[in-house]
Structure 1
Amino acid sequence: MESRGTKREAGKIEVAEPRNKLPRPAPSLPTDPALYSGPFPFYRRPSELGCFSLDAQRQYHGDARALRYYSPPPTNGQSPNFDLRDGYPDRYQPRDEEVQERLDHLLRWLLAHRGQLEGGPGWLAGAIVTWRGHLTKLLTTPYELQEGWQLAASRFQGTLYLSEVETPTARVQRLTRPPLLRELMYMGYKFEQYMCADKPGVSPDPSGEVNTNVAFCSVLRSRLGNHPLLFSGEVDCTDPQAPSTQPPTCYVELKTSKEMHSPGQWKSFYRHKLLKWWAQSFLPGVPNVVAGFRNPEGFVCSLKTFPTMEMFEYVRNDRDGWNPSVCMNFCAAFLSFAQNTVVHDDPRTLSAPQACLPLLLGARWPCHSV
């Protein structure tokens, strides 16, 4: 599908039509939070169907070889003092972001396990297959004022597949990413290296290379409203000491943030960053996010655990805060919008650009479709 620039009103999701079609009113979905403030919708507790790993060369393996084990420092009241700049850039191997993987790894897992799905392979006929990260963006969309996105939607044998497409704006931002931001991205991965071990009961080894090609991914099944979901997301680590060793409740999400020094900084943190942390962890049923707060020199000064189900309490009485019901209701509405918009099966492969119907979000700036 050829590229075409489109400017839209604020707070709407629209369908991009190819150039060779006659103009017609584009279906759209409003994103105003006030429209989605009803009761919390039904969301089935996620259950893990399986997993896969990606190695240092980004090669797929249908097992848990890349799973790491949560191994925090002793809680003796001292600062962890993790040096998040250590090894940068000499011991850093970032993933090649020019390679657009789309749904490839998830589809490979699905092809290998299609016949083993609970309810049989026919269950997929009405399901939505995507990455957890794409659903996270949907959950946060009603409160997003800065970042647009584009999803390609394709229906095959009744299943709707959603895959993100990099917008021209996002590509420019990636290619012109400032050195400080690249270093901050490294710090997040370095924090994981300090907090995770390769085997249970073993101390972490932060002296090795930080290779962001390596990943352990959980494949989960859930349902939002009347939409069956099959999605996958990267997992930072599993906690051998968790009350339950049953995934996903044994998984832990690791995050970093700058130190907070004022009530205003904490309020902004709760309104914005905690929203994304909640959405990312609530969807797969990860119970806890462990955050490392770093000082300007890049050292982790403190650790704090944020239980996923308690995050909303930080903004419950904030009139400008976020609401989980709004997030989930909007996501359910979007999935209905996508299901009703992409109604015909396409026999072509999912990776073919012409087989996908772009769905776009334009917040408060011009956006382009591809």
Structure 2
Amino acid sequence: MLSFRFEKLNAFQGKSAAIKRPREITVFSFDDSHKHHLDGRSLRYYYPPFVQVPYITEKNRIDLSQGFETFIKHDDSVNLHLNPLLDTIQHYEEQTGAKLKADILTWRGMMTKIFIAPFDMFGEFEMNATCYQNQLAKAAEWKSKTQRVSSSLEKMQFWGYKFETLATLPKQWQDCTRGEIEGRDTEVVNNNPQYCSVVRTGIGNHTIVIGGEVDAVEGCKPDDPNDSIPYIELKTSEDFRGDDDFAAKKFERKMCRFWAQSFLLGVPKVIIGFRSKDGHLQRLEEWKTMDIPSFVKNRGMRTWDGNVCINFAAAFLDFLKQHINDEGTWTIEQKKGDKQILLSKISDEYSRDIVSTKFREHRATFQFKATCEAKTQE
């Protein structure tokens, strides 16, 4: 068993490691039944909910608990591993004839866990990895130590999905009916549909392909693939008074995760719906993703440092590439409160849960165009 220790963060301070702007390669979707589709059918469009408007009195503020009884919740006990991402990459390669090369292939959630590890006091995860065609693939979800989600936590999770439903439309505003726009408060909340972006980015010495869910787009996607896409990340958080330092510090720590999730996929804006303790939407706040670390450093409580997160991730990926160098199966684990991430080889055989047989056969038999490699503009 190997250990990547980080009791002291001095080694990760200073100017951040080299980073490359995330560039979208392709997209995929899950539909209302969580069936995978190789297109963007589940893309939602941001249109703010009716909050902070003069004709809604305080007692009629939006109740995020409305519709909890009819919530259609995705069954996350079924682990799809990397398969949707690999199937999407296979389709992309078949359509373009170009092999998508990268040092690391993973889900955005995995990289987020690593990014925030230096400052996450409750960090806890377990994921698997292997080396395939000189590419490090990471899969599997972090394993929760809690067997049962409390009813109060379940309702708080619903509030986030409810906010997403209230803040988005299935089509651009001009193509929606008045009923679709004004009836979002009674729309059945279903978290099966997802729109996912696949991007290539770089951190330190590593080129990374990441897949992750995008909540919505503001306006529309640009025609020029080199232009930044106005995606947004939607979040909810409990509102607090300006003089409540404890609550402000708690929120600032949450912002570390908000920033990392958006930064990794190249999502330029985070929109936060602040709610009351009992789940009533109070107000909206917009943050530019790239402004969040500087706010924490210059005007906040300095509970975390974006450069440290980037340097930590770059160093940890160096560690993985050094030690995961065959097609065995490895476990990457952090226990709650530990200032170390453990790396253990659990099998000399590769796990089909990480890189599927279907994808392996595709890479072994597909005739790629000579000297053709998928590229993104740096």
Please state which band the TM-score falls in when normalised by the shorter chain.
0.7 to 0.9
Match of 1:82 in 2: 62
Partners in 2 of 1:76 and 1:144 — Cα distance?
33
Q: CA contact under 8 A between 1:149 and 1:166: conserved in structure 2? A: yes
Match of 2:2 in 1: 27
Q: Deviations over 1:155-174 (max 9, x none)?
A: 1112110113443xx1x41x
Match of 1:67 in 2: 43
Q: Displacement of 1:249 after TM fit? A: 2.8
Match of 1:304 in 2: 285
Q: Which moved more, 1:197-206 or 1:144-153?
A: 197-206
Q: Deviations over 1:50-85 (max 9, x none)?
A: 100001221110011100100114687547932211
**2:21 aligned with 1:45, yes or no?**
yes
Residue of structure 2 aligned with 1:105, choices 79, 84, 92: 84
Q: Displacement of 1:244 after TM fit? A: 9.1
The normalised TM-score by structure 2 is 0.80
**2:197 aligned with 1:215, yes or no?**
no
Partners in 1 of 2:48 and 2:19 — Cα distance?
31
Partners in 2 of 1:329 and 1:362 — Cα distance?
21
Match of 1:327 in 2: 309
Match of 1:114 in 2: 93
Q: Displacement of 1:310 after TM fit? A: 1.2
CA separation of 1:280 and 1:117: change in aligned 2, threshold 3 A: farther
1:102-251 superposed matches below 5 A = 102-115=81-94, 120-121=98-99, 123-124=100-101, 126-167=102-143, 170=144, 172-173=145-146, 175-201=147-173, 202=176, 203=181, 205-240=184-219, 249-251=229-231
CA RMSD in angstroms, aligned pairs only: 2.6
Letter in 2 for 1:181: L
Letter in 2 for 1:179: S
Q: Secondary structure at the match of 2:314?
A: helix
**2:334 aligned with 1:358, yes or no?**
no
Partners in 2 of 1:134 and 1:289 — Cα distance?
20
Q: Displacement of 1:265 after TM fit? A: 4.2
CA separation of 1:52 and 1:242: change in aligned 2, threshold 3 A: closer
Q: Deviations over 1:239-281 (max 9, x none)?
A: 1178998675310111101111233145314431111111111
Partners in 2 of 1:110 and 1:133 — Cα distance?
18
Q: Displacement of 1:329 after TM fit? A: 0.6
Structure 1: 5+ residue stretches without partners: 1-25, 347-354
CA separation of 1:86 and 1:248: change in aligned 2, threshold 3 A: farther
Q: Secondary structure at the match of 1:316?
A: helix
Match of 1:272 in 2: 253
Q: Deviations over 1:287-321 (max 9, x none)?
A: 11111111133210111101111112332145652
CA separation of 1:252 and 1:33: change in aligned 2, threshold 3 A: same
Q: Displacement of 1:133 after TM fit? A: 1.0
**2:325 aligned with 1:343, yes or no?**
yes
Letter in 2 for 1:200: Q
Q: CA contact under 8 A between 1:48 and 1:248: conserved in structure 2? A: no
Partners in 2 of 1:53 and 1:115 — Cα distance?
18
Partners in 2 of 1:55 and 1:241 — Cα distance?
20
Partners in 1 of 2:322 and 2:269 — Cα distance?
35
Q: How many matched pairs?
A: 328
Partners in 2 of 1:117 and 1:141 — Cα distance?
37
Match of 1:316 in 2: 297
The normalised TM-score by structure 1 is 0.81
Residue of structure 2 aligned with 1:252, choices 191, 211, 232: 232
